[in-house]
Each structure stands twice: as structure tokens, then as C-alpha cells.
């Protein structure tokens, strides 16, 4: 197989990966139910939290911005494999930027999960409306930050694909 054919094959594989501005939807709470009983220290058990849950596998298999899949790892491996075939300008910077964006997305995933849980407990225990509104504002900030990171990740994905196109043609 010629280099250009190999690069074209790798580009097709790389192009299947996408970004989706999901706003970390899987962390949304569906409902909270009481949990009878006590833990090993005799303390009441926390209420049971039911989350919306993950997107389906076919979606997550290509979503490089998902914190709960190996798509990002597979995408990065393809970029590195391409780099072994030909030199992509600034590829080390692209990979570093990719890793940095993913780390930020993973941290936001945990932050949103904690905020959603805090909000659900505040509602369950019928706490102050002002407190709940402050938590909602924080959730909205996290969602906006996530959207911004996904847009940056998409731009980086397109930059890599464009650089690869230029090498093929």
C-alpha cells in the first residue's frame, strides 16, 4: 500500500470520530428516592439517586469528548499512528492540547455530577429555594464551560484532519 493510500485509510478512520455538545447530560438526575436503613456506623443511608445515564454505545464509541468511553484514546492513537507515517506540523502540540482539553472535560464531568447530586438532595430535603437556585447557576456555568471545551476540541479535530488532507493531496 502506498503512503497516500495508507494515509487516506487512516484519515477515514479518524474522520469517524466526532464531538457532541451534550452538556454532560448523563449526569442529570431523574429522581431521588428515600433509602431505608442504616450504614455500618448506624447512620441513615443517603437517598437513592437515579441519573439519566449514559448515551447509547454507538454514540459513545465515536464521541471523543465523552468521559466514559475509549473513543478519545482511540482517536489519539490514530493521530499518533499517522505521525509515525508522516510528520504533521505541530503534532506534538495538537496531542498535548487534546490531552489538556480532555482533562478539563473529565474534571467538569465530576463537577457537574457533584452539583447535580447536591441539587437533588437540596430538593429532596426541601432546602432553601435560594440555595437551589445558586446550585442551578453553577450547573449552568459548568454546561457553558463544557460547550466551550467541546467547541475547542472540535476545532482541534478539524485542524488535524485539515493537516492530514494537505499531506494526502
Domain ranges for the chain = 3-168
Distances (CA, A) of 42 to 37, 47, 49, 125: 9, 15, 20, 20
The pLDDT score that the predictor gives to residue 103 is 95
The pLDDT score that the predictor gives to residue 101 is 95
CA distance 19 to 152: 10
String of DSSP letters for 75-107: HHHHHHHHHHHSPPTTHHHHHHHHHHHHHHHHH
The pLDDT score that the predictor gives to residue 6 is 81
- The alpha-carbon radius of gyration of the chain (Å, integer) is 21
The pLDDT score that the predictor gives to residue 5 is 84
Predicted TM-score (pTM) of the model is: 0.86
In tens digits, what is the pLDDT along the chain, a chain of 169 residues?
457 788 888 889 999 999 999 999 998 888 887 777 777 888 777 778 888 888 888 889 999 999 888 999 999 999 888 877 766 666 677 888 999 999 999 999 999 999 999 999 898 888 778 889 999 999 999 999 999 999 999 999 999 898 888 877 7
The pLDDT score that the predictor gives to residue 95 is 85
The pLDDT score that the predictor gives to residue 33 is 78
The pLDDT score that the predictor gives to residue 80 is 85
| Cβ-Cβ contacts under 8 Å for 69 (sequence gap 6 or more) | 60, 61, 63
SS3 22: coil
The pLDDT score that the predictor gives to residue 127 is 76
| Cβ-Cβ contacts under 8 Å for 96 (sequence gap 6 or more) | none
Amino acid at each position: 500500500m502506498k503512503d497516500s493510500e495508507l494515509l487516506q485509510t487512516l484519515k477515514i478512520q479518524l474522520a469517524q470520530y466526532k464531538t457532541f455538545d451534550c452538556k454532560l447530560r448523563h449526569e442529570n438526575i431523574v429522581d431521588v428516592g428515600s433509602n431505608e436503613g442504616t450504614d455500618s456506623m448506624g447512620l441513615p443511608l443517603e437517598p437513592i439517586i437515579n441519573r439519566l445515564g449514559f448515551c447509547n454505545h454507538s454514540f459513545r464509541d465515536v464521541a471523543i469528548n465523552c468521559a466514559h468511553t475509549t473513543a478519545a484514546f482511540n482517536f489519539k492513537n490514530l493521530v499518533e499512528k499517522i505521525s509515525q507515517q508522516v510528520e504533521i506540523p505541530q503534532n506534538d502540540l495538537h496531542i498535548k492540547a487534546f490531552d489538556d482539553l480532555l482533562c478539563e472535560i473529565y474534571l467538569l464531568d465530576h463537577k457537574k455530577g457533584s452539583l447535580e447530586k447536591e441539587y437533588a438532595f437540596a430538593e429532596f430535603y426541601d432546602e432553601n429555594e435560594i440555595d437551589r437556585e445558586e446550585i442551578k447557576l453553577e450547573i449552568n456555568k459548568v454546561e457553558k464551560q463544557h460547550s466551550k471545551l467541546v467547541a475547542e476540541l472540535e476545532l482541534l479535530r478539524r485542524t488535524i484532519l485539515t493537516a492530514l488532507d494537505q499531506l494526502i493531496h
